[in-house]
Amino acid sequence: GAGVSQTPSNKVTEKGKYVELRCDPISGHTALYWYRQSLGQGPEFLIYFQGTGAADDSGLPNDRFFAVRPEGSVSTLKIQRTERGDSAVYLCASSGLGSGDTQYFGPGTRLTVL
Amino acid sequence: EDQVTQSPEALRLQEGESSSLNCSYTVSGLRGLFWYRQDPGKGPEFLFTLYSAGEEKEKERLKATLTKKESFLHITAPKPEDSATYLCAVDTSGTYKYIFGTGTRLKVLA
């Protein structure tokens, strides 16, 4: 079956621009997560959705970051006024139930801010 | 504060040379411990879930074990295709997010 997909695979943008990163979870999975991974580090949690609502957004670094999941399936991570420090790989994961359930990751979007 | 530490940071093995990777954790309440494999430029690929001390899981040349303080990923007779970064993550009580270690970069030489 199809896994988690993310688009684009690579995104290069200029400082100050707005970007959107898309995640399509495994069909039927109600829980969706966004993580950010810097070089040589493990993924760091950004936000968790259960259905359409953001159940935990405590990992978003500041108010330039926002994510939506309007129909409980596809999610979009939005970054306003990008900064060079936002450069990283943004990973999306989904799981069937949420807490305690295995999270399955997508291939990631590599964001480079020039 | 919940914390996950992996060691060693990097490991080079000859093909067939068995070894173990360590993941030690300090968490308020463990709901699950997860091992992933990550190849360069790819997302983490799920390997194992362990829920309670004493539990063991095996898959091909890999075996994961769990105690109350740490988990080990044992690699028996590794092959070059086992070269990757191995990530450990914990899911703790009261949260829905994984806390990851920084990973162990494994290189298996032919």
What is the pLDDT, as a whole number, of residue A91? 98
Q: Is B14 exposed, middle or buried (0-12, 13-18, 19+ CB in 10 A)?
A: exposed
Nearest CA to B105 out of B15, B40, B53 is that of B40
- Planar angle of CA B40, B81, B43, nearest 5 degrees: 30
Q: Are B43 and A107 a contacting pair at CB < 8 A? A: yes
Lowest-pLDDT range of A79-83, B24-28, B89-93, B99-103: B89-93
Give the DSSP letter of residue B82.
G
Give the pLDDT confidence of B67-85 residue by residue, as tens digits.
Answer: 999 999 999 999 999 999 9
A95 near A29, Cβ under 8 Å?
A: yes
Task: Pick from A45, A89, A95 the residue to mutate for testing the B interface (most B CBs within 10 Å).
Answer: A45
- Predicted confidence at residue A10, as pLDDT, reads 98
Name which of B43, B102, B103 is nearest A106 (Cβ-Cβ): B43
At residue A105, the pLDDT reads: 97
Q: Tell me the Ramachandran region of residue A86: left when phi exceeds 0, alpha when psi lies from -120 to 50, beta otherwise.
A: alpha
Does the pLDDT value for residue B95 go beyond 80? no
Q: Which stretches in chain A have pLDDT values below 70?
A: 1, 97-100
Q: Is A12 left (phi over 0), alpha (psi -120 to 50) or beta?
A: beta
What is the model's pLDDT at position B93?
Answer: 73
Q: Where are the alpha helices (DSSP H) in chain A?
A: none
Residue of B97, B49, B99 whose CA lies nearest to B73 = B49
Over the stretch B7-56, which tens digit does the pLDDT of each residue have? 999 999 999 999 999 999 998 888 899 999 999 999 999 999 999 999 99
* Residue A14 pLDDT: 98
Sort strands B30-38 and B19-26 into parallel, antiparallel or unpaired: unpaired
At residue A106, φ and ψ (nearest 5 deg) are -85, 180
Which pLDDT score, from 0 to 100, does residue B92 have? 83
Q: Which residue of A has its CA nearest to B42?
A: A107
Interface contact B98-A59, CB threshold 8 A: no
A33-65 pLDDT per residue, tens: 999 999 999 999 999 999 888 889 999 999 999
